Chain A
């Protein structure tokens, strides 16, 4: 955290902000609402008819966000995954005139779209904590039925992933896991995996809901937040960048 002072400022965007009490604020991060708007715009553009031409723009946005966030692995991995999907989508069907390969190609093209949107989504997932996300949703006047249950869901997903890992390890230990076993007896494998996962998740769910209720989750008065969501310079830059990328796509016709 303290190491940021001397590091290079990519494009001068990242201004070190004073450490927040509790350290919960993310330095110079985008407002969650900006991220959601960019993500939805990318998703609607790419998943729409002829949306494949927006893929390079979305990829560029994803890489830029990854660089901004200093997630080097994603900055490299994202284009690599996109290239792999594009190779399968466009070069594999040319190997042999089998329509089956064509189906694989169409599916891979779909995967390519998902990768492009997923790059922006990964940025949100990495930078936005459930607390900030709910604060943003609240200030966007989303009904509390959705913010409360959504916050619980976001809070609980990592817990269940940890439980799932534990269950998988236990299955490995007993020689139950593995893809071949899964393919041989799919329903049996689902049972062996899901039942312990559910049982352990429900146990921790009891604790979580008790503590959440004690802390006043879902209580009538609107909760306030220590760091109210605010739009800042990074948001303006990000929105302008996204508009620039979309504009470039429209003007040049993209690829394909």
Chain B
């Protein structure tokens, strides 16, 4: 969170996207996070993804809870409305906002303390409801703002900066999201922009509950020997299953599952994501397979990254509720109020 606005001047020759926006139009205020924080890399990836998708910045609602990660919406999409709500309760606020206006793009940013502890229930229920959102957890396994306590995603046996060993089992939010029916599930690493940008872009295009767990090393409290969320540890244990690109408005590219080939996944809005599959046995349409794959690699101490599961035919909460296409926040008395004649009939039925 900052009160330092970025200077407005920029190079006139900055590249523009389809809508004529430059990269700068997707930026926000200057970050006050620690220099080198993985969260800032995620911020950069969000900016990049929104630029590439040619999203109108003000059509995004960015909602977060409380914590280091939840500060980050202030640092991107400066012309969007942001909402820094209460600790762990971002998902409910986002759900309400989405119900009010189904036409906006909803970006939920959360942390591991936010989503895996106090907000674990809200995380789970927003996923199972199929809220049309992109839910990004900036996962560093530690409470940064309160200086270094373990979060619920910290691995058992990992050590805090003060040398304390974590004796609790870790919660794997990706595994939970898969189990709860998220229709887009991915994991990435904040330092791997090549992978993360298209993942975010694809998640935004996906209609339904998209969840991305981004391992994001905490430079201050979780980047030491013994931590399983440090830069070095993640780099050593990163096992990418695929890479993907977002191709908006282009013809689909056929993909197969063989290593080195590409798989196309069609989204509801017609955009397509191309999956470049590295692991020969991996099928991103197989929820059960994804769960097994994840657990198998977790048992080896490996972190699986990439698009783990996507359902191209997903429905969202509005479809479940059969709501009108018109955003609810635009409906007025003439369409909402049954009027006095209906009330007279209602009164008559109560005598």
Q: Is B a genuine binding partner of A?
A: no
- Chain B residues packing against A (C-beta within 8 Å): none
